[in-house]
Amino acid sequence: MSVNATEVQTMTMAAALNRALADAIEADPAVLIFGEDVGALGGVFRVTDGLTEKYGEERCFDTPLAESGIIGSAVGMAMNGMRPVAEMQFDAFAYPAFEQIVSHVAKMGNRTKGVLRLPMVIRIPFGGGIGGVEHHCDSSEAYYAHTPGLTVVSPATPQEAYSLLRAAIASPDPVVFMEPKKLYWMKGPVDTSITADLGKAAIARQGTDLTLIAYGPSVQVALEAAAVAAEDGRSVQVVDVRTITPFDDETVMNAVRSTGRAIVISEAPGFVSVASEIQARVAEQCFEYLEAPVRKVTGFDVPFAPPKLEHWYLPDVDRVIDTIDTLHWED
């Protein structure tokens, strides 16, 4: 069977990403995949498993342990007609490459007035929930979202992982693709014929009393909290942001206006965060519709907790339900 055959299969998020990478390689000879251990090993989380074996080291290959060199090489490749997909292996491992990302990846198109655009994807496994230690569980999305010139994406389901990664690779401009590590083994249906538009949020659950806004790993927390709240008679809507930047104000604000209450959920520390920005945008654009202050449930403003303590750090259903109870309900 051809890897491009249209079909609906149940697969993990890691398998969906693998399929997206394989389909992109077959669809476009300019696509290259590289990073630390993505070749023979198939990646730390096996997202690139089998790609080197099938497509050869010319299309999927290992690099030295030098993140700045990985991204610098990707910039040169993208400037010369390739579509590189570079993996950073773990979120905080990307920090040595940060200067390349903000100084060159994000700015090359503007610097050259669009003459040199960089069609490249930087894959960053991020977030907690796997019992990882320091430098393995950061939520670094705010750094990239703060930088004009970068599209920042985070899928919440296997279907989104496939469709959004295909869209990211096809984009003419650079995309930072944040993959929730704790969802790599989440299973769900994947239809390879479904396409996605970058910059579009989605309604993951309908509701009329309250809107929960989340992205990446926090979407599942929001859905679980919505189900619990329903047992108490609360009709809770869930918005899956999907693309952090460009942000889909229209979908998010219409959702909040329809319910009059909003909570933003994110694993990252809450201060100067993506959650803070969403909170501010909702307060500014939906003020006359709000029945209560916009709240957020986030990680704490401390370095990521050790493995045995991370359950205290990460937002969970109990924290979301406790916050829901503060939203000035008449009953």
Catalytic sites, residue numbers:
136
Q: How far is CA 125 from CA 82, 100, 291, in A?
A: 23, 18, 37
Q: Which amino acid is at 30?
A: A
Token look-up 């050259």 returns 112
Strand order in the sheet with 60-62: 60-62, 31-35, 83-87, 121-126, 175-180, 151-153, 243-245
- Name the nearest CA neighbour of 268 among 277, 280, 258: 277
Q: Which amino acid is at 57?
A: E
Largest CA distance in the chain: 64
Calpha distance 42→59 (Å, rounded): 13
Buried b or exposed e, range 205-215, using 16+ CB within 10 angstroms:
bebebbbbbbb
Token look-up 């806004």 returns 213
Calpha distance 76→243 (Å, rounded): 26
Parallel, antiparallel, or unpaired for β 262-269 and 295-299?
parallel
**3-class secondary structure, 57:** coil
- Name the nearest CA neighbour of 154 among 319, 267, 286, 308: 267
